[in-house]
Amino acid sequence: MSVSLIAPISLIIFVVTIVVGIKKRVNLGILATAMAFVLGLFVMVEGGAMAAPQLKGVPITSLFPFSIFWMTLSVSLMLNVGSVNGTFDLVIKKVVRLARGRRALIPIYVFLVMFAACSVGAGSTGVMVLLCTIAATIAKDQKIDPVFMLLAVLSGSTVAIGSPVAVIGIICNGLSEQLWGEAIAPSYMYLRGAAMAILSFAVIYLLFRGWKLESWPVSEVEATPRLNKKQILTLLGFLAFIILAMVLNFDMGLIAFLVTAVLLLLGCADETRVIADIPWSSILMICGMCMLIGVVQAAGGIDLLTGLMSHMMNRYTVKPLYSILGSVLAMVSSITGVVLPTMIPTIPDIAAQVGADPYALVTSLAFGANITCASPISALGAVALGIMGTNPEWDSNKLFKRMFVYSFVLMGVAAVWAAIGVAG
């Protein structure tokens, strides 16, 4: 087959894979791995490597993103200990009780809890769903707009783009290391992600006029139970992980397994549940999409996409456009499995052509994608809508419309932060 046809065909196969996977509700990672093999055959794979004319041979199995898989698996295992034994749930409830009837502070506390949790890597879907559930309960009890509470949770989660131990941060760093030979320094991406998260929540707080929430008398409710021995040991284990992995620079994956092993030996959680709660669906999606992207890249598809995008971008528009593109894609697909693995490989050439900082583009893309997970047609947004929809006092149709509108508002907010240089 002509080399000139391989690139567009690879992009078509990539798009069809995503559309079919979403429509048929088949895990995109499994489908993508299969299509990586099929596409490899299509461009004449010999001995496990592509051998099309003028196409550099690439063993398909070598495209498996082991570093991303290793980090995601190890960190998920460790954090699952805290989820299973109720550590996260109890800490969240304790923090929220600090408001003591001052309702205007509750959304701020919810934001700060999510911000802190995602900063140390506890930004898995399970933790986010847990906090969305707690936020919905608080919204009902305290008569606070449920969409306001949801956005407080989601805006706090956006700091995960810069955390070297959060799944999104791991993916951004893993792909950046593949492309540029070095990971993005936490001092660069975390600080910018934190700034954009705080500024975005400030906008949300202003839009919902959070300061106008009147204080209520403190109700006589049952006190939140104290942390038990298992939960205290879990928090100490997480602290040890932060010190060893982030301060002393030991391998994060190995330290995560070490902490998990010690906590399980101490009986801090049910091993069966800890293993069962590993987000295998997300891990398969991430790894499979990375493999397919690798084949598409070897076939010239990424170069073709980059060339098409470069005609619409210049030095001043490239960051907000990447942010908007990430937002739009994240509304209908997975951030970790589709948006980041697809778009980050386009950054090196675009950055070189327009003279932009590639790390700033990664930050803009990741933040834009993460901020619009409030969309009710996104995976997390749909789950959040389902959680809030269980309350008969709230009209699900109205919630859907409002969440959809605010996802576009936040898309614009993220683009503004990118345009004025907050992303770098």
Q: Could you read off the pLDDT of 135-163 as tens digits, one per residue?
A: 776 777 778 888 888 888 888 887 777 77
DSSP string of 318-370, one letter each residue: HHHHHHHHHHHHHHHS-IIIIIHHHHGGGHHHHHHHHT--HHHHHHHHHHHHH
Backbone torsions φ then ψ of 226, nearest 5 degrees: -75, 160
Report the distance separating Cα 114 and Cα 154, nearest Å: 8
Q: Where are the alpha helices (DSSP H) in 43-185?
A: 66-84, 87-97, 106-119, 125-142, 146-157, 167-180
CB within 8 Å of 102: residues ≥ 6 apart: 215
**Which residues contact residue 164 at a Cβ distance below 8 angstroms, ignoring those fewer than 6 apart?**
170, 173, 183, 186, 190, 246, 252
Contact 168, 335 (CB under 8 A): yes
| Mean pLDDT, range 271-277, rounded to an integer | 90
Question: 6 lies in a domain?
Answer: yes
- Do 195 and 93 form a contact (C-beta atoms < 8 A)? no
- Determine the pLDDT at residue 324: 86
Specify the pTM.
0.68
Q: With residue 45 as reference, give the H or E element that holds it.
A: strand 45-46
Contact between 334 and 379 under an 8 Å Cβ cutoff? The reply is yes
Long-range Cβ contacts of 262-268 (<8 Å, 24+ apart): 262/237, 263/78, 263/81, 263/233, 263/234, 263/237, 264/81, 266/230, 266/233, 267/230, 268/81, 268/85, 268/230, 268/231, 268/233, 268/234, 268/237
Please give the Cα distance from 208 to 225 (Å, whole number): 32
Task: Give the range of the structural domain holding residue 14, as residue numbers without chain letter.
Answer: 1-61+280-300
Going from the C-alpha of 361 to that of each of 350, 354, 416, the distances in angstroms are 9, 11, 14
pLDDT at 281: 76
Which one has a higher pLDDT value, 261 or 405?
261
Give residue 221's pLDDT.
45
Report pLDDT for 237. Answer: 92
User: pLDDT tens digits for 57-109?
Assistant: 456 777 888 877 887 788 778 878 888 888 877 876 776 677 777 788 888 88
Q: Is the pLDDT of residue 354 over 70?
A: yes
Highest mean pLDDT among 73-82, 89-98, 120-129, 305-314: 73-82
Domain assignment present for residue 36? The answer is yes
- Give the dihedral of Cα atoms 172, 175, 177, 180; nearest 10 deg: -110
Residue 18 counted as domain residue = yes
- Confirm whether 17 is domain-assigned: yes
Give the Cα separation of 58 and 62 in Å (integer): 8
Element (H, E) at 20: helix 3-24
- The pLDDT score that the predictor gives to residue 24 is 83
Q: Is position 224 within any domain?
A: no
Q: How far apart are the C-alpha atoms of 256 and 387, rounded to whole Å? A: 31
* Number of CB atoms found within 10 A of residue 393's CB: 8
Tell me how many degrees the CA angle 360-416-351 measures, rounded to the nearest 5: 30
21 belongs to a structural domain = yes
Exposed e or buried b per residue across 208-225, where buried means at least 16 C-beta atoms within 10 angstroms of its C-beta: bebeebeeeeeeeeeeee
- Asked if residue 33 is part of any domain, the answer here is yes
Please state, in angstroms and rounded to a whole number, the distance separating the CA atoms of residues 340 and 402: 26
Q: What is the mean pLDDT of residues 339-343?
A: 82
How many domains, the chain?
1
Lowest-confidence pick of 125-134, 137-146, 241-250, 364-373: 125-134
In a domain, 51, yes or no: yes
